Structures are given as C-alpha cells and as structure tokens.
Amino acid sequence: MKQFHALLKKEWYTNRITLLTPLWFAGGVYAIGLIGLIINLIKGNPLQAQFTAHNVPAGLESMILYTASAGSLAALGSVAMISAMILADSLLNGGFKRKCEILHLSQPVCIGKILISKYLFMTLGTIILLSLISLINSIGISLIIGYYTGAHMYFGITAWAQTLIKLIFTLLFVSSMYWFFAGLFKRKSFFMGTLLIIAIQAAISILNYTAGLHIPSLLAYILRLATISPEMNVNTMTLGVSQLNAIIESQWSNLFDLDTLMRCIYSVIFFIAGGWLYRNRELS
C-alpha cells in the first residue's frame, strides 16, 4: 500500500497541472461571469432584471434550472475528457519524452502496480475532480436560479446526478481508448490515435463504395459512445412541471443501457491492451 501511495504521489507531482485543467476552466468561466455581473451592476442592470424581463411560464423555471445544471456539467465534462486524453499520453509516454523511462521502470515495484496507479490517477482522479467541481457549480446555479425564479434545487441536483453518471462511463471509455493509443504510439499518441480512427473509417467507406459492402461506420459508433445525448429538447421545454417530473424519473432507468455496458467492456479491453503494449515495448 505504501508503494502504491508513493506511485500516486509521484504522478500527482508530475501531472497535477493537467489533471486540474477542469478546475482552471471553471475558475476562468466564473471569473468572466463575475466581471460581466459587475459591469451589469455598474450599468444599472441587476441580475434580477434578466430573469424578470422575460415572462417565464409557470413550471418552465424548473426546466430552465434542469437544463442549465446539465448543460454546464456537460461543458465541464468535455474539458475533463480532453484533460484525461492528454493525461494518458503524459502518463505512459512522459518518461520516454523526458528520457527517464528506464529509470522509472527500474524501481523495485512491479509493473502491474505502476500501470494501475497511472490508470487510476487518469480515470478516478479526473472523475473525483469533475464530481466535486460540478457539484459546487450545480449548487451555485440552483441557488441563483432558485432565488430569482423560485425553481426548486431538486431539479438542479437531479440534473447533476443523472448527467454525471452518464459522463463517468463516457469519460472512462474515451480516456481508456487514448490510454491504448498512448501504449501503441510513443510519439504524438493523441494525434496518431485520432488519425488511426480516421484511416480505418476511410478504409471502411472505400470498401463499402467499391465492393458494395455494408460495414457499419466505426467513427459514428465511437462518437455515439464518446458523447452523451441531451434528454431535453425544444418540445420538452414547453411541458409543465408534472410532465417534467415524469421525464426526469424515466431517465434513471435509461442511465444503464447497452451503450453503457459496451463502454465498460471497451474500457477494460483498452486498459489491458494499452498496459500490455506499454509493458512489452522497447525501452529508451
């Protein structure tokens, strides 16, 4: 356990700036928002006027809160995914780039512990950070919108919980895929991995066109697993609060579907394959 703790500590000191990217992003957004509010106050346009200037139908304030909470988390989750993808390359290829790969792997620690610590730092570290930042953000949004519109905090926190669960599995899939690419390519793994996907998709398209085959689109499938689809649209925005409650309740049963299962399976496969490639490649 002490060895494992030391490995995680080493990764923290080496890659903490990249890991904390979602925090820098959230801080920047709040700083810009605060500047905007100050400018509005100086101009004599308080925040309350922005809510009361538009005649919001009864019940729609809850939908606004739900959508705002889920949308802000989705944006923050996108930043967290990019951070995890960059982390994958840094964790597996950082030693190679700094020309100290042999030194790191000569430690009296089994390679399995090293790989697990790197993978947990990338996935669990990003998930914990995303969960904490997004929870604080969701509470803040719920309090502000609730104060000016009367919307109940329940809708903001529920949107946070449902969106976060979807994001966790999506983040696991995306980060694990680029973990595999980082094990496969020592240099520019992000670029090379993305290029590999595009090349395979191009080959599939050519075969479908020239040979009359009907091979499903790899790129479309990856994009489906790598994104979360919004549950609210223009039509649902006009529903009353009773229908909104029914929609929200129905989402709990849709969180764990076939795509979620496939994300988990692919994540395990990519982790094992990426670790095997890292373990068996030539050191330099």
Range with lowest mean pLDDT among 79-83, 164-168, 206-210, 280-284: 280-284
151 DSSP assignment: -
Helix (H) or strand (E) holding 2: helix 2-19
> Quick one: 261 exposed, middle or buried, by C-beta within 10 A (0-12, 13-18, 19+)?
exposed
At 22, the pLDDT band (50, 70, 90 cuts) reads very high
**What residues have CB less than 8 Å from 10, skipping those under 6 apart?**
none
Range with lowest mean pLDDT among 8-12, 137-141, 162-166, 177-181: 8-12
**What residues have CB less than 8 Å from 94, skipping those under 6 apart?**
14, 15
Angle at CA 185, nearest 5°, toward 262 and 194?
55
Count each helix (H run) and each strand (E run) in the chain, helices first: 11, 0
Q: Distance between CA atoms of 88 and 199, rounded to whole angstroms? A: 21
Give yes or no for residue 104 having a pLDDT over 70: no
Give yes or no for residue 50 having a pLDDT over 70: no
Looking at residue 117, what is its pLDDT?
92
Looking at residue 63, what is its pLDDT?
83
Looking at residue 34, what is its pLDDT?
86
Looking at residue 152, what is its pLDDT?
86
Query: What is the pLDDT of the chain when averaged over all its residues?
Result: 85
Q: Distance between CA atoms of 246 and 10, rounded to whole angstroms? A: 47
Q: What percent of the chain has pLDDT over 90?
A: 51
Q: For residues 57 and 28, which has the higher predicted lDDT (pLDDT)? A: 28
Give yes or no for residue 266 having a pLDDT over 80: yes
- Compute CA distances 79 → 20, 75, 92, whole Å: 10, 7, 20
pLDDT tens, residue by residue, 196-232? 999 999 999 999 999 888 899 999 999 999 988 655 5
Q: For residues 20 and 42, which has the higher predicted lDDT (pLDDT)? A: 20
Give yes or no for residue 173 having a pLDDT over 90: yes
234 DSSP assignment: T
At 96, the pLDDT band (50, 70, 90 cuts) reads low
Give yes or no for residue 82 having a pLDDT over 80: yes
Looking at residue 203, what is its pLDDT?
95
Q: For residues 271 and 150, which has the higher predicted lDDT (pLDDT)? A: 271
Q: Distance between CA atoms of 109 and 244, rounded to whole angstroms? A: 53
Does pTM surpass 0.75? Answer: yes
Looking at residue 49, what is its pLDDT?
56
At 170, the pLDDT band (50, 70, 90 cuts) reads very high
> 258-280 and 218-226 helices cross at what angle (nearest 10)?
100
Give yes or no for residue 8 having a pLDDT over 90: no
Give yes or no for residue 53 having a pLDDT over 50: no
Q: What percent of the chain has pLDDT over 70?
A: 83
* 115, 278 contact by CB (below 8 A): yes
